[in-house]
Amino acid sequence: MNAPIQKSIQIAEAATPADHPEFDGHENIVFAHDEESGLRAIIAVHNTKRGPALGGCRMWSYSNTGEALTDALRLSKGMSYKNALAGLDLGGGKSVIIANPREHKTPQLLRAFGRHVHRLGGTYITAEDVGITAADMEIIGSQTPFAKGTEATGLGDPSPYTALGVFEGIKAAVAFKNGTDDLKGARVSVQGLGNVGYTVARHLHIAGAELIVSDINETTVQRACDEFGAQSIAPNTAHAADCDVFAPCALGAGLNTLTIPQIKAPIVAGAANNQLQTTEDGVVLFERGILYAPDYAINAGGVISIALAGAGDSDDHVRQKTENIFNTLTEIFKRSAAEGRPTSVVADELAEEILQR
Protein backbone atom coordinates (compact mmCIF):
# COMPACT_ATOMS: atom_id res chain seq x y z
CA MET A 1 0.00 0.00 0.00
CA ASN A 2 1.43 3.39 -0.95
CA ALA A 3 1.70 6.04 1.76
CA PRO A 4 -0.61 9.06 1.30
CA ILE A 5 1.05 12.05 -0.33
CA GLN A 6 2.11 14.68 2.19
CA LYS A 7 -0.66 17.25 2.42
CA SER A 8 1.33 20.09 3.92
CA ILE A 9 3.20 21.15 0.78
CA GLN A 10 3.99 24.83 1.24
CA ILE A 11 2.87 27.44 -1.21
CA ALA A 12 5.61 29.04 -3.25
CA GLU A 13 6.63 32.48 -2.04
CA ALA A 14 6.63 34.07 -5.50
CA ALA A 15 3.25 35.63 -6.29
CA THR A 16 3.14 34.07 -9.77
CA PRO A 17 5.57 31.90 -11.73
CA ALA A 18 6.38 34.95 -13.86
CA ASP A 19 7.82 36.65 -10.75
CA HIS A 20 10.12 33.71 -10.08
CA PRO A 21 13.87 34.46 -10.50
CA GLU A 22 14.24 31.45 -12.85
CA PHE A 23 11.40 32.62 -15.13
CA ASP A 24 12.85 33.20 -18.58
CA GLY A 25 9.91 34.06 -20.83
CA HIS A 26 8.53 30.53 -20.50
CA GLU A 27 5.62 29.99 -22.88
CA ASN A 28 3.42 27.96 -20.60
CA ILE A 29 3.56 26.75 -17.00
CA VAL A 30 0.88 24.37 -15.82
CA PHE A 31 0.17 23.18 -12.31
CA ALA A 32 -1.34 19.74 -12.88
CA HIS A 33 -3.55 18.32 -10.15
CA ASP A 34 -5.66 15.19 -9.83
CA GLU A 35 -7.75 14.76 -6.73
CA GLU A 36 -8.25 11.00 -6.95
CA SER A 37 -4.65 9.93 -7.45
CA GLY A 38 -3.15 12.81 -5.48
CA LEU A 39 -1.11 13.97 -8.48
CA ARG A 40 0.63 17.32 -8.06
CA ALA A 41 2.91 18.22 -10.92
CA ILE A 42 4.31 21.20 -12.76
CA ILE A 43 4.76 21.14 -16.52
CA ALA A 44 6.96 23.94 -17.85
CA VAL A 45 7.14 24.65 -21.57
CA HIS A 46 10.06 27.00 -22.11
CA ASN A 47 10.23 27.42 -25.87
CA THR A 48 8.52 25.85 -28.89
CA LYS A 49 10.01 28.02 -31.67
CA ARG A 50 11.94 25.07 -33.09
CA GLY A 51 9.23 22.49 -32.44
CA PRO A 52 7.38 20.77 -29.61
CA ALA A 53 9.04 21.06 -26.23
CA LEU A 54 10.76 17.76 -25.41
CA GLY A 55 12.01 17.11 -21.90
CA GLY A 56 11.81 14.43 -19.26
CA CYS A 57 9.49 14.02 -16.31
CA ARG A 58 11.20 14.01 -12.92
CA MET A 59 9.50 12.52 -9.86
CA TRP A 60 11.04 13.83 -6.68
CA SER A 61 10.03 14.47 -3.06
CA TYR A 62 10.41 18.24 -3.23
CA SER A 63 9.96 19.87 0.15
CA ASN A 64 7.64 22.52 -1.28
CA THR A 65 6.08 23.64 -4.58
CA GLY A 66 8.51 26.55 -4.82
CA GLU A 67 11.43 24.12 -5.03
CA ALA A 68 9.59 22.09 -7.68
CA LEU A 69 8.83 25.23 -9.68
CA THR A 70 12.50 26.27 -9.54
CA ASP A 71 13.53 22.88 -10.92
CA ALA A 72 10.86 22.90 -13.65
CA LEU A 73 11.74 26.43 -14.82
CA ARG A 74 15.51 25.86 -14.78
CA LEU A 75 15.46 22.39 -16.33
CA SER A 76 12.99 23.31 -19.09
CA LYS A 77 15.21 26.19 -20.20
CA GLY A 78 18.17 23.80 -20.11
CA MET A 79 16.27 21.47 -22.45
CA SER A 80 15.69 24.32 -24.94
CA TYR A 81 19.45 24.89 -24.99
CA LYS A 82 20.32 21.20 -25.16
CA ASN A 83 17.87 20.43 -27.98
CA ALA A 84 18.91 23.54 -29.94
CA LEU A 85 22.64 22.76 -29.72
CA ALA A 86 21.97 19.13 -30.65
CA GLY A 87 20.39 20.39 -33.89
CA LEU A 88 16.99 18.89 -33.10
CA ASP A 89 13.79 20.44 -34.43
CA LEU A 90 12.47 20.58 -30.90
CA GLY A 91 11.90 23.10 -28.18
CA GLY A 92 12.49 22.65 -24.48
CA GLY A 93 10.23 21.67 -21.63
CA LYS A 94 10.29 19.68 -18.42
CA SER A 95 7.83 18.33 -15.91
CA VAL A 96 8.16 17.52 -12.25
CA ILE A 97 5.85 15.32 -10.19
CA ILE A 98 5.92 16.43 -6.56
CA ALA A 99 6.01 13.12 -4.70
CA ASN A 100 8.36 10.42 -3.52
CA PRO A 101 8.66 7.86 -6.35
CA ARG A 102 9.25 5.00 -3.91
CA GLU A 103 6.18 5.74 -1.79
CA HIS A 104 3.66 7.55 -3.96
CA LYS A 105 4.01 6.22 -7.45
CA THR A 106 0.84 4.46 -8.61
CA PRO A 107 -0.44 3.58 -12.09
CA GLN A 108 -3.42 5.85 -11.36
CA LEU A 109 -1.14 8.83 -10.65
CA LEU A 110 0.97 8.18 -13.77
CA ARG A 111 -2.15 7.91 -15.92
CA ALA A 112 -3.44 11.20 -14.49
CA PHE A 113 -0.11 12.79 -15.39
CA GLY A 114 -0.37 11.34 -18.92
CA ARG A 115 -3.80 12.93 -19.33
CA HIS A 116 -2.42 16.32 -18.31
CA VAL A 117 0.39 15.96 -20.87
CA HIS A 118 -2.23 15.07 -23.47
CA ARG A 119 -4.24 18.22 -22.71
CA LEU A 120 -1.27 20.29 -23.85
CA GLY A 121 -1.97 19.03 -27.36
CA GLY A 122 1.57 17.99 -28.23
CA THR A 123 3.25 21.28 -27.33
CA TYR A 124 5.03 19.27 -24.60
CA ILE A 125 6.47 15.78 -25.13
CA THR A 126 7.49 13.92 -22.02
CA ALA A 127 10.16 11.27 -21.44
CA GLU A 128 12.01 9.52 -18.59
CA ASP A 129 14.04 11.35 -15.99
CA VAL A 130 15.04 10.81 -12.37
CA GLY A 131 12.37 8.75 -10.56
CA ILE A 132 10.59 7.69 -13.75
CA THR A 133 11.36 4.37 -15.45
CA ALA A 134 10.68 2.94 -18.91
CA ALA A 135 7.82 0.92 -17.39
CA ASP A 136 6.30 4.15 -15.96
CA MET A 137 6.58 5.77 -19.37
CA GLU A 138 4.51 2.91 -20.84
CA ILE A 139 1.72 3.76 -18.35
CA ILE A 140 1.95 7.50 -19.10
CA GLY A 141 2.03 6.64 -22.81
CA SER A 142 -1.26 4.72 -22.46
CA GLN A 143 -2.97 8.14 -22.09
CA THR A 144 -1.12 10.16 -24.69
CA PRO A 145 1.00 9.75 -27.81
CA PHE A 146 3.15 12.64 -26.52
CA ALA A 147 5.40 10.33 -24.48
CA LYS A 148 8.81 9.24 -25.76
CA GLY A 149 10.90 6.31 -24.68
CA THR A 150 8.03 3.83 -24.71
CA GLU A 151 8.42 0.46 -26.40
CA ALA A 152 6.51 1.77 -29.40
CA THR A 153 8.59 4.93 -29.78
CA GLY A 154 12.00 4.09 -28.37
CA LEU A 155 15.33 2.69 -29.47
CA GLY A 156 15.60 1.40 -25.90
CA ASP A 157 18.07 2.61 -23.28
CA PRO A 158 19.46 6.04 -24.33
CA SER A 159 22.66 5.69 -22.27
CA PRO A 160 24.80 4.04 -25.02
CA TYR A 161 24.13 7.11 -27.20
CA THR A 162 24.93 9.46 -24.33
CA ALA A 163 28.20 7.56 -23.84
CA LEU A 164 29.02 7.72 -27.54
CA GLY A 165 28.47 11.50 -27.52
CA VAL A 166 30.67 11.92 -24.44
CA PHE A 167 33.42 9.88 -26.09
CA GLU A 168 33.19 12.12 -29.18
CA GLY A 169 33.27 15.17 -26.90
CA ILE A 170 36.41 13.95 -25.13
CA LYS A 171 38.06 13.41 -28.54
CA ALA A 172 37.05 16.93 -29.62
CA ALA A 173 38.57 18.44 -26.46
CA VAL A 174 41.80 16.45 -26.82
CA ALA A 175 42.02 17.40 -30.51
CA PHE A 176 41.52 21.06 -29.64
CA LYS A 177 44.23 21.01 -26.97
CA ASN A 178 46.74 18.68 -28.66
CA GLY A 179 46.05 18.98 -32.39
CA THR A 180 45.13 15.28 -32.67
CA ASP A 181 42.18 13.27 -31.39
CA ASP A 182 44.35 10.18 -30.91
CA LEU A 183 43.65 8.97 -27.38
CA LYS A 184 46.42 6.37 -27.28
CA GLY A 185 48.14 6.71 -23.92
CA ALA A 186 45.92 9.61 -22.79
CA ARG A 187 45.11 9.33 -19.07
CA VAL A 188 41.42 9.79 -18.28
CA SER A 189 39.81 9.83 -14.83
CA VAL A 190 36.24 8.54 -15.18
CA GLN A 191 34.20 9.36 -12.08
CA GLY A 192 31.04 7.21 -11.89
CA LEU A 193 30.76 3.90 -13.70
CA GLY A 194 27.01 3.68 -14.17
CA ASN A 195 25.10 3.19 -17.40
CA VAL A 196 26.93 6.02 -19.13
CA GLY A 197 30.30 6.09 -17.36
CA TYR A 198 31.05 2.41 -17.83
CA THR A 199 30.38 2.61 -21.57
CA VAL A 200 32.47 5.78 -21.86
CA ALA A 201 35.29 3.87 -20.16
CA ARG A 202 34.89 1.03 -22.67
CA HIS A 203 35.10 3.43 -25.66
CA LEU A 204 38.19 5.04 -24.16
CA HIS A 205 39.83 1.69 -23.48
CA ILE A 206 39.24 0.55 -27.05
CA ALA A 207 40.78 3.85 -28.25
CA GLY A 208 43.94 3.10 -26.23
CA ALA A 209 43.44 5.46 -23.29
CA GLU A 210 44.77 4.67 -19.80
CA LEU A 211 41.92 4.71 -17.31
CA ILE A 212 41.65 5.85 -13.72
CA VAL A 213 38.21 4.82 -12.45
CA SER A 214 36.07 5.54 -9.40
CA ASP A 215 32.60 4.77 -8.12
CA ILE A 216 30.95 4.36 -4.75
CA ASN A 217 30.10 0.83 -5.92
CA GLU A 218 33.29 -1.16 -5.42
CA THR A 219 32.13 -4.15 -7.46
CA THR A 220 31.79 -1.98 -10.55
CA VAL A 221 35.22 -0.48 -9.94
CA GLN A 222 36.76 -3.94 -9.70
CA ARG A 223 34.99 -4.98 -12.91
CA ALA A 224 36.41 -1.97 -14.75
CA CYS A 225 39.90 -2.63 -13.38
CA ASP A 226 39.70 -6.25 -14.60
CA GLU A 227 38.11 -5.47 -17.98
CA PHE A 228 40.04 -2.34 -18.93
CA GLY A 229 43.26 -2.72 -16.95
CA ALA A 230 42.19 0.45 -15.15
CA GLN A 231 43.66 1.90 -11.98
CA SER A 232 41.19 2.79 -9.22
CA ILE A 233 40.98 5.98 -7.19
CA ALA A 234 38.72 7.10 -4.33
CA PRO A 235 35.57 8.77 -5.78
CA ASN A 236 36.13 11.98 -3.80
CA THR A 237 39.62 12.48 -5.25
CA ALA A 238 38.82 11.51 -8.86
CA HIS A 239 38.73 15.19 -9.89
CA ALA A 240 42.26 15.71 -8.54
CA ALA A 241 43.81 12.76 -10.40
CA ASP A 242 47.02 13.34 -12.30
CA CYS A 243 45.61 12.91 -15.79
CA ASP A 244 44.84 14.51 -19.17
CA VAL A 245 41.05 14.43 -18.91
CA PHE A 246 38.68 14.44 -15.95
CA ALA A 247 35.35 12.89 -17.01
CA PRO A 248 32.63 13.45 -14.37
CA CYS A 249 29.93 10.83 -15.05
CA ALA A 250 28.21 10.62 -11.66
CA LEU A 251 26.49 13.51 -9.93
CA GLY A 252 25.92 17.19 -10.65
CA ALA A 253 27.60 20.19 -8.98
CA GLY A 254 30.98 18.39 -8.89
CA LEU A 255 32.75 21.46 -10.28
CA ASN A 256 32.80 23.99 -7.48
CA THR A 257 35.02 26.27 -5.40
CA LEU A 258 36.35 23.27 -3.48
CA THR A 259 37.17 20.94 -6.39
CA ILE A 260 38.24 23.32 -9.20
CA PRO A 261 41.50 24.46 -7.53
CA GLN A 262 42.46 20.77 -7.13
CA ILE A 263 41.89 19.74 -10.75
CA LYS A 264 45.16 18.84 -12.48
CA ALA A 265 43.68 17.76 -15.83
CA PRO A 266 43.71 20.40 -18.58
CA ILE A 267 40.33 19.07 -19.81
CA VAL A 268 37.00 18.42 -18.07
CA ALA A 269 34.58 16.49 -20.28
CA GLY A 270 31.99 14.10 -18.90
CA ALA A 271 28.35 13.04 -18.88
CA ALA A 272 27.00 14.35 -15.58
CA ASN A 273 24.18 16.88 -15.72
CA ASN A 274 24.59 20.33 -14.12
CA GLN A 275 28.31 19.89 -13.45
CA LEU A 276 28.94 23.53 -12.55
CA GLN A 277 27.67 24.36 -9.09
CA THR A 278 27.27 28.00 -10.12
CA THR A 279 27.77 29.87 -13.40
CA GLU A 280 30.83 31.50 -11.82
CA ASP A 281 32.52 28.07 -11.71
CA GLY A 282 32.58 28.06 -15.53
CA VAL A 283 34.49 31.35 -15.42
CA VAL A 284 36.99 30.00 -12.86
CA LEU A 285 37.66 26.91 -15.00
CA PHE A 286 38.35 29.19 -17.96
CA GLU A 287 40.65 31.43 -15.93
CA ARG A 288 42.59 28.36 -14.80
CA GLY A 289 43.06 27.36 -18.48
CA ILE A 290 40.97 24.21 -18.09
CA LEU A 291 38.99 23.36 -21.22
CA TYR A 292 35.46 22.56 -20.07
CA ALA A 293 33.02 20.76 -22.38
CA PRO A 294 29.62 22.23 -21.39
CA ASP A 295 27.54 19.38 -19.96
CA TYR A 296 24.36 19.87 -21.97
CA ALA A 297 26.33 19.94 -25.22
CA ILE A 298 28.44 16.83 -24.55
CA ASN A 299 25.70 14.68 -22.99
CA ALA A 300 23.02 15.21 -25.65
CA GLY A 301 23.37 11.74 -27.24
CA GLY A 302 20.57 10.34 -25.08
CA VAL A 303 18.05 13.03 -25.98
CA ILE A 304 19.04 12.72 -29.64
CA SER A 305 18.18 9.01 -29.54
CA ILE A 306 14.91 9.67 -27.71
CA ALA A 307 13.94 12.46 -30.10
CA LEU A 308 14.75 10.67 -33.33
CA ALA A 309 13.67 7.15 -32.43
CA GLY A 310 10.23 6.30 -33.64
CA ALA A 311 10.17 9.12 -36.14
CA GLY A 312 11.43 6.72 -38.77
CA ASP A 313 15.07 7.47 -38.04
CA SER A 314 17.50 4.60 -38.21
CA ASP A 315 20.14 3.79 -35.64
CA ASP A 316 22.73 5.01 -38.18
CA HIS A 317 21.17 8.45 -38.33
CA VAL A 318 20.99 8.68 -34.55
CA ARG A 319 24.68 7.71 -34.31
CA GLN A 320 25.62 10.24 -36.99
CA LYS A 321 23.76 13.03 -35.22
CA THR A 322 25.35 11.99 -31.91
CA GLU A 323 28.85 11.93 -33.42
CA ASN A 324 28.24 15.50 -34.54
CA ILE A 325 28.71 16.50 -30.89
CA PHE A 326 32.42 16.51 -31.83
CA ASN A 327 31.78 19.40 -34.27
CA THR A 328 29.45 21.32 -31.97
CA LEU A 329 32.02 21.26 -29.16
CA THR A 330 34.85 22.18 -31.51
CA GLU A 331 32.86 25.25 -32.55
CA ILE A 332 32.32 26.18 -28.89
CA PHE A 333 36.03 25.71 -28.06
CA LYS A 334 37.16 27.79 -31.06
CA ARG A 335 34.78 30.62 -30.27
CA SER A 336 35.76 30.56 -26.61
CA ALA A 337 39.46 30.84 -27.53
CA ALA A 338 38.89 33.52 -30.17
CA GLU A 339 36.71 35.69 -27.93
CA GLY A 340 38.53 34.97 -24.66
CA ARG A 341 35.33 33.88 -22.92
CA PRO A 342 34.42 30.71 -21.00
CA THR A 343 33.02 27.76 -22.97
CA SER A 344 30.02 27.69 -20.61
CA VAL A 345 29.10 31.25 -21.62
CA VAL A 346 29.75 30.63 -25.33
CA ALA A 347 27.55 27.49 -25.30
CA ASP A 348 24.64 29.44 -23.77
CA GLU A 349 25.04 32.19 -26.37
CA LEU A 350 25.22 29.73 -29.24
CA ALA A 351 22.05 28.03 -28.01
CA GLU A 352 20.33 31.43 -27.68
CA GLU A 353 21.37 32.32 -31.23
CA ILE A 354 19.92 29.07 -32.57
CA LEU A 355 16.70 29.71 -30.64
CA GLN A 356 16.41 33.22 -32.11
CA ARG A 357 16.88 32.04 -35.71
Tell me the DSSP string of 153-216.
Answer: T--S-SHHHHHHHHHHHHHHHHHHHHS----TT-EEEEE--SHHHHHHHHHHHHTT-EEEEE-S
The angle at the Cα of 342, spanning 26 to 95, to the nearest 5 degrees, equals: 25
Would you call 94 a catalytic residue per the annotation? yes
The one segment of 22-30, 85-93, 177-185, 192-200 that binds ligand NAD by CB under 6 A: 192-200
For the bound state, the minimum distance from the C-beta of residue 274 to ligand NAD, rounded and expressed in Å, comes to: 8
DSSP conformation class of 351: H
Residue 10 vs 133, nearer CB to ligand NAD: 133
Q: Does 131 bind ligand NAD (CB under 6 A)?
A: no
Q: How far apart are CA 116 and CA 45, in angstroms?
A: 13
Pick from 330, 351, 298, 303: which is nearest to 165 by CA?
298
Q: Does 140 bind ligand NAD (CB under 6 A)?
A: no
For the bound state, the minimum distance from the C-beta of residue 133 to ligand NAD, rounded and expressed in Å, comes to: 12
Q: Does 216 bind ligand NAD (CB under 6 A)?
A: yes
The angle at the Cα of 27, spanning 21 to 32, to the nearest 5 degrees, equals: 85
How many residues at the interface with ligand NAD, by CB under 6 A? 25
Q: How far apart are CA 290 and CA 186, in angstroms?
A: 16
Of 45, 174, 272, 293, the one binding ligand NAD by CB under 6 A: 272
By 3-state DSSP, what share of the chain in percent is helix, strand and coil, each rounded to 5? 45, 15, 40
> Which residues are bridge partners to 30 per DSSP?
43
Per-residue contact flags (x/-) with ligand NAD for residues 160 to 189, judged by CB under 6 A: --x---------------------------
Q: Does 196 bind ligand NAD (CB under 6 A)?
A: yes
For the bound state, the minimum distance from the C-beta of residue 339 to ligand NAD, rounded and expressed in Å, comes to: 27
> Which residues are bridge partners to 333 per DSSP?
none
For the bound state, the minimum distance from the C-beta of residue 38 to ligand NAD, rounded and expressed in Å, comes to: 27
Of 133, 217, 257, 262, the one binding ligand NAD by CB under 6 A: 217
Contact 313, 46 (CB under 8 A): no
Whose CB is nearest to ligand NAD? 194
What is the footprint of ligand NAD within residues 220-259 (CB under 6 A)? 220, 235, 249-252
Residue 250 vs 260, nearer CB to ligand NAD: 250
Question: Catalytic residue positions?
Answer: 94
